[in-house]
Structure 1
């Protein structure tokens, strides 16, 4: 994905939590400001979503200097009863591109 699509009004298929988690899965050392820009959210909203995901055990991070590196728990089961038995890993396998197919969407991010 080379460009971020224009903002749409109305419903979407994915929640902001899923979008943030997908951005982290695509680049575990991505900065909050880059997630916010990619997901079209505020940095504060992204911080809140990351806190939610960490508090419920879907995500953790380690501090490396001034940056965070995130770790997703792929075996964690999704929260909604309609997705009973499905894991974060199975969701992300549908949403995150293979390395060989990936566009340089975070080319501006220092790793």
Structure 2
């Protein structure tokens, strides 16, 4: 079971929607509980965000027994007019690159 983490206070550069989408991209069979712990959000907030993402076509899901398998729609354009030429795949690619580089640095220091 995922451990609850202290929530972050104040503003951040990434929205909670981006964090949830990135968490799902890293494991498309993640439980809401695990996504919430990873993103430092409540389960209720994650459920609302997933609902928003599905309503706007960024995400779909299928039931698999008692859990969900999420499918990200990578070609969907980001919502803000300033990012109108960027897709979900572009955003996730940047975040994945950062995570990979961070993991590499952690290995080098250990």
Change (3 A) 1:33 1:102: farther
Change (3 A) 1:82 1:76: same
Partner SS state of residue 50, structure 1: helix
What are the residue-to-residue correspondences of 1:1-111 with 2, within 5 Å?
7-97=7-97
State the TM-score, normalized to the length of structure 2.
Answer: 0.81
Q: Which structure shows the higher helix fraction?
A: 2
Q: Name the larger-Rg structure.
A: 2
User: For residues 67 and 30 of structure 2, what CA distance do their matches in structure 1 show?
Assistant: 9
CA contact (8 A) 1:29 1:69 kept: yes
4+ residue runs of structure 1 moved beyond 3 angstroms?
4-8, 100-103
CA contact (8 A) 1:25 1:96 kept: no
Change (3 A) 1:28 1:102: farther
User: Aligned pairs, how many?
Assistant: 101
Q: Which has the higher contact order (CA 8 A, sep 6+)?
A: 1
CA contact (8 A) 1:32 1:46 kept: yes
Partner SS state of residue 14, structure 2: coil
Aligned alpha-carbon RMSD (Å): 2.5
> Any unmatched runs of 5+ in structure 2?
104-110
> Any unmatched runs of 5+ in structure 1?
104-111
Q: Deviations over 1:3-55 (max 9, x none)?
A: x9864432211000000000000000000000001111110100000000000
Change (3 A) 1:33 1:60: same
